Amino acid sequence: MSFLRFAVATEDFGSSLKSAIRRAASLPVAGLRLNARHEVRADSFGDTA
């Protein structure tokens, strides 16, 4: 029995964050790794973030 859980880094897809999340959703992985320094811009957050 395997207890390994795999994740994928969205930056490895070489596309926009939204597109990478969509592509990762079709893979058999348990999670995503986001690069908050380069992939998520502060101006993309709303007032409630």
**What pTM was computed for the model?**
0.65
Tell me the C-alpha to C-alpha distance, in Å, between residue 49 and each of 2, 35, 44.
37, 17, 10
Domain ranges of the chain: 7-41
| Rounded Cα–Cα distance for residues 17 and 29 (Å) | 17
| Rounded Cα–Cα distance for residues 30 and 27 (Å) | 9
- What does the pLDDT read at residue 4? 83
Q: Which two tokens stand for residue 46?
A: 């709303």
- What does the pLDDT read at residue 1? 62
Give pLDDT tens digits for 1-49.
667 888 999 999 988 888 988 999 999 989 998 887 777 777 777 777 5
- What does the pLDDT read at residue 45? 74
